[in-house]
Chains A and B, each alone.
Chain A
């Protein structure tokens, strides 16, 4: 308790100390006076011999306290006082920092939510995915039968859960329906992951049975977006797929699709595509405590051996693959890779914005340091060491950064929702939630940047030549050319960073525009779409399906204003199903080639409706139906790849899994993009929709006049009512399909993010150039006054200002161009995986001169614009006033 007593007796201690020192000096003076010195002289001599009283008192007090902490608080108090004294500087600096740190806080939050936070599950190291490798050698999710076999046959797992996929239409007010992706899960799915519902309860065992399954859980996003985060949602009824279901709970943010419902295996299996399609489930399992991945794998091998020759051909598997959850993250799929790309780019961009902000504050601090030269000189004269003053100045700049960080976090908190919305376009499931981690990260970043941008100005400001600084009172006393050079370097650096950011943005923007306007191969204008998903409880027979398709298309064609109607199971930009096709090749006696090929089922009028020309042979005919002979059409790329130099008409195709049904090629159609506007062309096969009869298909409806689009679209649902009043048609247009195509939806948020960072950067550059130029004009007032007095024209004076800004800007642009060359080397130049989409440079080279020129021109304009006001001020300098200014 000694230190506590000391803490309180300090005031007395310090008083005694002062008294003692005073006594010492008096004694000395008296002694000197006694030896014959005058009192005045004696007093000087005593002080000289004693040393700096204040400093010694301070040092003596230091013995009694925790000097670093107390000095720190003293510095903070002093710093706060100084900041209050110059609100202009403080506001400008704090806001600049807030912008820079805010951008980084947001990006950190996003990155954190997907990459750093780790898996949001309980003991994730015990969680595995179970995959199968089938005869084709590819990795698939298992069929429900295999899932059940694993469920019954394995002992390594505590829980084995399955998840299927579904599509939901949410009726909000009877007329508008929204399509929401859904998951169907077994009741043990959440327990297996070790996740508790955010609200309400989990599914129960008995809800896994058809008829009992009218319950759903909502994802966090769905709950917030569709139900306004209603805290009493559990227990309420909603209408999904025209069926009333009860919401039993809300999932936490970390899991799930929009809607999660119980998986009823029997009915799920029945939804299967009629053409040998398999319904599959994703299987996850939690290993029992103590079971290793190796043990689980060897058990799976035994199990796979048993399954090999058992069950229907569709369920035959080659191997069971047990994969730890963590591995999925080590070997990211296309989505994850794209997420990484997008996030890295934005992270770099936000870092650049922060650097620019730091440079701004550094130059503000430099200018302020010059203004404070006298203060610094006085303090130095009083015995303050340089180290101490640097510490003081750094404390002050750190305070600015901390305020900035706090404001940044508050701003980020406000923008949480909108940022989440934009970013989830690039990375599904990403979200921004400002929490302690984001706050701490922001603080850490702000401290680092405070050091980075405060150090040099502090060193500069404390470089004192005592005599000169104390004597010279003119505002242009301090500085000289050195700080000005430093400030110019900072501005040049800002311009360079701005250049990097603008070039990066420009290249991606040009790529985006190229993708948007790329040659599609079909005419998407004036085409409406109506998509149907057949309810699996009805239309179970092929003839019912064929009748529905025929009647709907026919009725649509009769609608006034409609030119033609085509049917396809996958519209352009939707991608397509793929299957192993067996292809007869023109080489004599060669066996048929087998390959995984995309295929689309279409009606006879489909190609003409899209205005895609037939290159050879014929289009499908109404006669190509269930009763007719099996036929196929291939695209140009297919023909070039498999029938080089030959006419493919008359050769045959078959699905590898039903090899006896050969389909004769009757035509070759011109290529068009089926998945993404920028994808490479690929071989595609078309089959008559009347022969494959898919469970989901769309009508492409070409309207005569563009002005009719809205009108017709509004009437389609009613018009089709007589065909089957219970069916739900999802409406859209081909233009919207392109707008929503994967690559454009991936690129758009990226453009938005980079554009906002780019504009932030430009604003910061403007502020920076304006600040520095104004300062240098103020500093040179006397020089300008002299020049004017000597007869320099006003324009010459303005030229002086502009010339300096331009010089700095050009140097910055040169460096920036160089840096941009270096940085854009890391820009990807091709899409990811089979989908071929992603964020990459398309139709533009990374050294694209237009982008560089426009960026440079833009920055130059910005610099000149920012120098405009200071230049005007320079022109107005009155020589009389300027010279009398001392």
Chain B
């Protein structure tokens, strides 16, 4: 079952993106999904639903918190917000990801050795 979300992403990528998206502003699930889709320019094939297991995991680890409120379109939604712990986690993850990316880039870059 977990294979599903790992099909296109490496483990933890979805969580990282969620945290990053929530950093500037709290969002509810649907908006979050649309935001990620939009900013990735549909390059990432993510089932919208796979967001929810990720959100639940983040909730459990207290990296985000959730509150029920009324959205702009006037429906009852759950708004997710980054916690301090989440912000710190995001920083760590991003720097780790950047290091990894750098490594991968170096290996993939042609000509250099």
Chain A residues in contact with chain B, CB under 8 A?
A: 16-17, 19-21, 23-24, 26-28, 30, 49-53, 55-64, 385, 388
Does B48 lie at the interface of the complex (its beta carbon under 8 Å from any beta carbon of A)? yes
A62 contact set on B, CB distance < 8 A: 1, 53
Docked pose: A52 CA to B78 CA in angstroms: 21
| Most chain B C-beta atoms within 10 Å of own C-beta, residue among A24, A52, A53, A55 | A24
Asked, given contacts A49-B48, A56-B49, whether A64 binds B77 with beta carbons under 8 Å apart, the answer is no
Q: Which residues in B have their C-beta under 8 angstroms from that of A50?
A: 47-49
Whether the Cβ atoms of A23 and B76 lie closer than 8 Å is yes
Chain A residues with CB below 8 A from B29, complex form: 20-21, 23-24
A196 CA / B57 CA spacing, docked (Å)? 60
Q: Is the CB of A52 within 8 A of B77?
A: no
B82 sits at the interface (CB 8 A) = no
**Min distance, Cβ A101 to any Cβ of chain B, angstroms:** 35
Instruction: From A16, A21, A26, A61, give the contact of B49 (CB < 8 A).
Output: A21
A806 to B79, CA, bound (A): 71
How many inter-chain residue pairs (CB < 8 Å) link A and B?
Answer: 70
CA distance A314 to B53 in the complex (A): 90
Q: With A24-B30, A50-B49, A60-B53 given, is the CB distance from A16 to B1 under 8 Å?
A: no
Of residues 1 through 59 on chain B, the ones whose CB sits less than 8 Å from some CB of chain A are 1-2, 4, 29-30, 33, 47-50, 52-53, 55-57, 59
Which 8 interchain pairs have the tightest Cβ spacing? A51-B47, A51-B49, A63-B56, A56-B49, A59-B53, A60-B56, A50-B49, A60-B53
Give B48 Cβ to nearest chain A Cβ, in Å: 5
Pick the contact of B52: A21, A27, A64, A388 (CB < 8 A): A21
- A17, A28, A63: the one contacting B30 at CB < 8 Å is A28
Instruction: Flag if B57 contacts A53 (CB, 8 Å).
Output: no
Chain A hits for B56, CB < 8 A: 17, 60-61, 63-64
Residue B73 at the A interface, CB < 8 A?
A: yes
- Contact across chains for B1 and A63 when beta carbons are under 8 A apart: no
Residues of A within 8 A of B50 (CB): 51, 56, 59
Chain B nearest CB: distance from A750 CB in Å?
Answer: 55
B78 to chain A, nearest CB (A): 5
Q: Determine the distance from Cα of A55 to Cα of B3 in the docked complex, in whole angstroms.
A: 12
Closest to B68 in A: A16
Query: Please, how many angstroms separate the alpha-carbon atoms of A21 and B32 in the complex?
Result: 13
Q: Chain A contacts of B73 at CB under 8 A?
A: 27, 30
8 Å CB contact of A27 from B4, B30, B59, B78? B30
Kindly identify, within residues 67 to 85 of chain B, every residue whose CB is under 8 Å from any CB belonging to chain A. 68, 73, 75-78
Cα A27 to Cα B75 in complex, Å, equals 9
Q: Is the CB of A64 within 8 A of B75?
A: no
Note all chain A residues with C-beta closer than 8 A to B59.
63
Q: Is the CB of B57 within 8 A of A63?
A: yes
Spell out B's residues near A (CB within 8 Å).
Answer: 1-2, 4, 29-30, 33, 47-50, 52-53, 55-57, 59-60, 68, 73, 75-78
Query: What chain A residues lie within 8 Å of B1 (beta carbons)?
Result: 55, 58-59, 62, 385, 388
Please name 14 pairs of A and B residues whose Cβ atoms are closer than 8 Å in the assembled complex, sorted by A. Answer: A19-B76, A21-B52, A23-B29, A23-B30, A27-B30, A51-B49, A52-B49, A53-B49, A56-B52, A56-B53, A58-B1, A59-B50, A63-B59, A64-B56
The prevalent SS among residues of A at the interface is helix
Task: Give Cα distance in the complex from A19 to B53, angstroms.
Answer: 14
| Complex contact B53–A24 (CB within 8 A) | no
Q: Known contacts being A51-B48, A55-B1, A64-B60, is A23 close to B53, with CB within 8 Å?
A: no
B77 engages A49 (CB within 8 Å): no
User: Nearest Cβ in chain B — how far from A608, in angstroms?
Assistant: 92
Q: Is the CB of B60 within 8 A of A24?
A: no
- The docked-state distance in angstroms from the alpha carbon of A55 to that of B50 is 9
Residues of chain A contacted by B2 (CB below 8 angstroms): 59
- Give, as a whole number of angstroms, the nearest-CB distance from B112 to chain A: 41
Of all chain A residues, which has the CB nearest B2? A59
Residues of B within 8 A of A55 (CB): 1, 4
CA distance A52 to B48 in the complex (A): 10
- Residues in A whose Cβ lies below 8 Å from that of B60: 63-64
| Given pairs A24-B30, A27-B30, A59-B50, 5 additional interface contacts (CB within 8 A) | A52-B49, A56-B47, A56-B52, A63-B53, A63-B60
**Complex: how many Å from CA A57 to CA B53?**
7
How distant is the Cα of A77 from the Cα of B18 in the complex, in angstroms?
A: 37
Q: Which residues of B have CB within 8 Å of A57?
A: 52
Bound Cα distance from A26 to B48, whole angstroms: 13
CB of B40 to closest CB in A, whole Å: 14
Q: How far is the CA of A24 from the CA of B33 in the complex (A)?
A: 9
In Å, the complex CA distance between A832 and B55 comes to 74
| Across-interface contacts of B4 in A (CB, < 8 A) | 51, 55
**In the assembly, what is the distance between CA of A55 and CA of B5, in Å?**
12
Chain A: minimal CB distance from B8 (Å): 13
**Residue among B29, B49, B53 with the highest chain A CB neighbour number at 10 A:** B49
Note all chain B residues with C-beta closer than 8 A to A64.
Answer: 56, 60
Q: Which residues of B contact A52 (CB under 8 A)?
A: 49
Q: How far is the CA of A62 from the CA of B47 in the complex (A)?
A: 18
Residue of B nearest to A57 (CB): B52
A732 to chain B, nearest CB (A): 76
Closest to A65 in B: B60
Q: How distant is the Cα of A694 from the Cα of B47 in the complex, in angstroms? A: 100
- The smallest beta-carbon distance between B80 and chain A, in angstroms, is 10
Shortest distance between the CB of A379 and any CB in chain B (Å): 13
Which of B47, B57, B77 contacts A23 (CB under 8 A)? B77
Residues in B neighbouring A21, C-beta threshold 8 A: 29, 49, 52
Inter-chain CA distance A50–B53, complex, in Å, is 12
Expressed in whole angstroms, the Cα–Cα distance for A325 and B30 within the complex equals 77
Complex interface: chain B residues within 8 A of A56 (CB)? 47, 49-50, 52-53
What separation, in Å, do the CA atoms of A582 and B30 have in the docked complex?
109
| Centre residue among B30, B57, B73, B77 by max chain A CB count within 10 A | B30
In the complex, chain B residues whose CB is within 8 Å of the CB of A60? 52-53, 55-56
C-alpha spacing A27/B60, complex, angstroms: 26
Most chain B beta carbons < 10 A, residue from A26, A50, A53: A50
A56 (CB) vs chain B CBs: closest residue: B49
Q: In the complex, are the beta carbons of A24 and B48 less than 8 A apart?
A: yes
Q: Which residue of A lies closest to B55 (CB)?
A: A60
Q: For A17, what are the chain B residues with a Cβ–Cβ distance below 8 Å?
A: 52, 56
Q: Residue on A with the closest CB to B32?
A: A24
Note all chain B residues with C-beta closer than 8 A to A28: 30, 48
Nearest neighbor of A19 in chain B, beta-carbon distance: B76
Residue of A nearest to B73 (CB): A27
B64 CB to nearest A CB, Å: 12
- Nearest chain B CB to A35's CB is how many angstroms away? 13
List, in ascending order, chain A residues with CB within 8 A of B68's CB.
Answer: 16
Task: Name the B residues within 8 Å of A30 (CB-CB).
Answer: 73
Chain B residues near A19 (CB-CB < 8 A):
76
